[in-house]
């Protein structure tokens, strides 16, 4: 009986929402998180008072740390934590665009395994994060341990065999 009531409520909600605009339909059923999931043309970036600024910063910081890709959680999350307090509306929108990128693509573009598209390459937040990543790679990793530009950055267990390493690869 309870499941039948839920079906009728859902039907009523759908019929009621059919008269609304598509944007209000998405917001009414998905909630305010949908504003940050894609398409920033109508995003309300309200930095007018401290509480709204704090909430927006917390949402973006959470999104940057919880991507589900450990390397990006660390790299992007740390960068956002260090820089979000000083961002203006333009940079916050640029950060939202970076956070909307797919994880595998973003990782390849940040590490220069692949050339990013023009829209990503000209994004000021992406450029800043990429320069930090490349600076860290240059200071902590020998160039011979990296893949050539445009080549996948995947190494096997025995990738150092015959390179003055032990007889068993990376051990």
Sorted by where each starts, the structural domains of the chain and their CATH numbers stand as 1-31 (no CATH), 47-153 (1.10.150.250)
Total Cβ atoms within 10 A of residue 80: 22
The CA-atom distances, in angstroms, between 16 and each of 22, 23, 33, 34 are 12, 14, 22, 20
d(CA 55, CA 78): 18
pTM above 0.75, yes or no: no
Residue 142: its pLDDT value, please?
A: 79
**Which regions of the chain are under pLDDT 50?**
17, 19-42, 169-171
* Three-state SS at 56: helix
Return mean pLDDT, the chain. Answer: 75
For residue 103, the tally of other CB atoms under 10 A from its CB is: 14
Note the pLDDT of residue 138. 85
- For residue 67 the two structure tokens come to 């991507």
- Residues 153, 95: Cα–Cα separation, whole Å: 25
**Residue 83's pLDDT is what?**
96
Closest CA to 41 of 102, 96, 98: 96
């Amino acid at each position: 009986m309870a499941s039948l009531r839920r079906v009728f409520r859902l039907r009523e909600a759908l019929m009621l929402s059919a008269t609304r605009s598509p944007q209000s339909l998405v917001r009414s059923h998905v909630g305010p998180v949908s504003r940050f999931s894609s398409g920033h043309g109508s995003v309300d970036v309200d930095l007018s008072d401290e509480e709204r600024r704090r909430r927006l910063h917390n949402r973006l910081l959470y999104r940057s740390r919880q991507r589900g890709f450990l390397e990006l959680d660390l790299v992007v999350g740390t960068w956002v934590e260090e820089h979000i307090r000083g961002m203006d509306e333009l940079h916050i929108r640029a950060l939202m665009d970076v956070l909307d990128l797919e994880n595998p693509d973003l990782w390849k573009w940040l590490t220069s395994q692949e050339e990013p598209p023009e829209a990503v390459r000209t994004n000021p937040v992406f450029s800043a994060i990429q320069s930090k990543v490349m600076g860290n790679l240059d200071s902590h990793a020998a160039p011979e341990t990296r893949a050539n530009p445009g080549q996948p950055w995947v190494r096997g267990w025995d990738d150092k065999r015959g390179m003055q390493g032990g007889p068993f690869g990376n051990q």
